[in-house]
Structure formats: structure tokens, C-alpha cells
Chains A and B, each alone.
Chain A
Amino acid sequence: MVTESEITEVLRTINDPEMPISIVDLGIIGSVSVAGAECPGAGTIVKIDVLPTFVGCAALPMIESMIRQKLAQLPDVTSVEVNFKYSPAWTVDRISPAGRESLRHFGVTVPHLRTALGNEAAIETLTCPFCGSENVELESSFGPTRCRMIYHCLRCKNPFEHLKRLNLPVC
């Protein structure tokens, strides 16, 4: 039977439809589970929980179909179930270090990781993903997708995007 880590490796080859980052690095894979079908020998059932970045994000149907398509190619997988979950909520802190790096190359910055308690109050310093300058200004709190906003670097004059951090209630 195919293992959960093998499934995760396949998911790693699927990119977000709008940014060059794998859905695993983006942190939207909540859980992966594998179970044998009820009748022995009838194959494997894979269940994937996906945590949307924003509720009802327009890219979700596409992500779901890519997951189904890729996983259906694995030997023995007879059924793929994709569920969208809002708990636990996705946050920018779920993006992996490698994911942050590939987004930066693409011109999208990610808010600093919130690790230590009390860090919430820390002022977010933003640096331009192209020249590293901190001399940047907000151009628009809304951007090309619902999860991004637009900044402008006053030094290298490039526009860039920044992912929004939602202030989620602590559950």
C-alpha cells in the first residue's frame, strides 16, 4: 500500500496555480491519510485535507483537480477524497523556509514568522524582494489575488507583492 510520505512527495510536485510554490511548501496541506478499501484487494483510499488561504479562493477547484489527477496515477489508489477545512486555519506561518525563498524570487514577500509569544506587537519591517531596501511603501491593500497586497520599493522603483497576515483568533 502507498504510504503517507509517498503521497506527500507527489503533492510536492503540484504548484499553486498562481505562484511558483508547491502546495506543500505553501502549507495548505492540512493532513494526508491512507486507508485500505473495505473489501480486501479493492485498492487504497486517500484522504487529503486542504486548508484554503482565503475562504472560497478561486484557485481551489483547480488545486483539487490537480491533486486528484496526480494521486490517481499512483498504483493501487482507487479513490481520492479532497476536503477543504477551515480548522486549523491556514496562516502565513505555515509557509516553509524553502517556500518563502521561492516566493521572494517571484517578487512576493511573506510576513515574518510569529514564533515567540508576544511577538504579535512587533512592527513588521518589510524589505524589497529585489534590492533588499527597507524603504518601501504600501501602494494598495488589495492586489491581484485576495491574499496579496501591493507595495512599491522607493529605492529600486519596483512594485512587489506581500502576502496578507490575517489576525486569526487564538482558539
Chain B
Amino acid sequence: MPHDDSIPERDKKPLAELLLSIADDKLILGHRNADWTGLAPILEEDIAYSSLAQDEIAHASAFFDLAARLLKTTADRLAYGRAATDYRCAELVEFSDEFDWALALARSFYCDHFDRARLARLARSKYRPLAELSSRLAAEEQIHVDHVDSWIHRLGHGGAEAHERMQNALDRLGDLAQTLFETNDSIRECERLGYYPGDEQSIYDTWLEGLRTVAQKAGLSVNVPVPDSNRQGGRRGHHGAGFAALIDELTEVYRIEPEAAW
């Protein structure tokens, strides 16, 4: 499909909604990653998770910028000025690992592989600014995938306790992992219009195969239910119990003076 910089007026809303679902995934995952700053099990991982958080939030801000252009607002207002029910992130990214290292890694494992597959789809978007950005981001996302894969390998072969805890974490988050594939009317509309080529099913298979290849080499297994296409969760604004509190914390400073310049 030919690239195009101009968007017909009627396509702006679904496209902006798609961009928000991506930006929200990245913003909230970045927020969760940042929990580990100062608390990761080793110094290198302190640096790593802080960098991962910085990456995700920078990526989020690039998608918020694109959405803000379509909605004639600002990235800050979109990131921090919405009600909790207006966020379109998947429930997996908001999951609190409660400082269990294996759970943090399992969340990264599912999310980073998904992100890489999603960016590859977006790189073929007919909306040129989105295609160019995504193609660039896919290269950065690979760093995340390599990082988490090496940990899966390390813990899978890291002795009985490490192996067991890693397997338990992968199992525990298996159900939530399918929330990444939830879709909504706007996302479907973007698939149909060529802004988001392919469909969730098409990346689900590649995603799962990629996870299993890495897990198998580590002596671990991945069990994720096939995504329910009628799911009514985060991508439709129905979030988990702790989400409102998370948004409260995330937007605390912004709300003191919303229009302040930083």
C-alpha cells in the first residue's frame, strides 16, 4: 500500500485510538519497569531496568506525539490528563510484580516479544510517520528482547529454585498475556484501512513460536490460552482493580499544575 502523510478526517479518531493503545502499553510498562530502579537484584539490572523504563516512556511519548497531532492536543495531556477508564493498555502491562524478579521478567518476556511483533506490523502502515517511527523503534525493541531472553536462559539453567520460580512466573502470567491481543473497534478499523496491516491472530502465532523457542532452550515451557476475540478488558477501558491507584500515582505531579512547562 502506498505511504501517505495525510489522513482523511474520518480516519483520525480510530487511528488516534490505535496510537493510544500502543502508547498506553508502553507508558504503563515503563512505569512498572521503573519500580525496579534502586531495587533490582544486581547493579547491572538496576541500570538495565532503569534504561528499559526510559526506553518505554520515550517510545510512548513518540506515539503520544503522533496521536496529539491528530487530536490537536499535547502528548502530556494525553499521557497524564485522562481518566483511568480512558487508558487503552492491556492488563498485562499494569500487572504489579510485587518485586518478584521472576514475575518482572515473565511480564517483560511476554510484552517485549509482543511489542517487537506489533512494531513490525506498524512498520508496514500506510501512514508514513507511523511506519517510519515503528521501523526505527523495532531496532530499539530488539535490545529489550535480547535482554529478557538472556535472563530466561540464565534462570532456566540456574538451578532448581531459579528454574521453578521462572516456570511458575511464566505460568502465572500466561492468562494475562492474552490480554495483549485484545482488540477494539478502532483497532479493527485501522486493520481494515491499512494503518495497522495484518491482524492480531497473525502475530499471535509468530509471537508464541518465538517465546517457545527461547523457553525450550532454557528448559521452560510457555502456555498461553488462545486470545478470546470478544474479550472486554483494558483495550476497552476495563482495567484491573489496582489500575485507578496506579494512574493516581503516575499523574500526581502533573495534576498539581497541569499546564506547567517542564
Interface residues of A (CB under 8 A from B): 54-58, 86-87, 89, 139-143, 146, 150, 164, 166-169, 171
Contacts and interface: CB of A to CB of B under 8 A. Distances in A.
A87 B136 contact: yes
Interface string B178-217: 0000000000000000000000000000000000000000
Contacts of A142: 44, 47-48, 50-52, 147
Given A166-B142, A167-B142, A169-B123, A89 B136 contact: yes
Contact of A141 (B62, B135, B136, B143): B143
A55 B59 contact: yes
A141 to B, nearest CB: 6
Contacts of B137: 55
29 contacts: A54-B55, A54-B58, A55-B59, A55-B133, A55-B136, A56-B57, A86-B132, A87-B132, A87-B136, A89-B139, A140-B44, A140-B47, A142-B47, A142-B48, A142-B52, A142-B147, A143-B47, A143-B51, A146-B51, A146-B58, A164-B143, A166-B139, A166-B140, A166-B142, A166-B143, A168-B135, A168-B139, A169-B123, A169-B139
B36 to A, nearest CB: 12
Given A89-B136, A89-B139, A141-B48, 15 more contacts: A55-B133, A55-B136, A56-B58, A56-B59, A86-B133, A86-B136, A141-B143, A142-B50, A164-B143, A166-B139, A166-B140, A166-B143, A169-B135, A169-B139, A171-B135
A142 B36 CA distance: 15
A169 B133 contact: no
Contacts of B135: 86-87, 89, 168-169, 171
Interface of B, secondary structure class, is helix
Interface residues of B, number: 26
B225 to A, nearest CB: 32
Interface of B: 44, 47-48, 50-52, 54-55, 57-59, 61-62, 123, 132-133, 135-140, 142-143, 146-147
Nearest to B58: A56
Contact of B139 (A57, A146, A167): A167
B180 to A, nearest CB: 21
A55 B57 CA distance: 10
A141 B146 contact: yes
Contacts of B55: 54, 146
B114 to A, nearest CB: 18
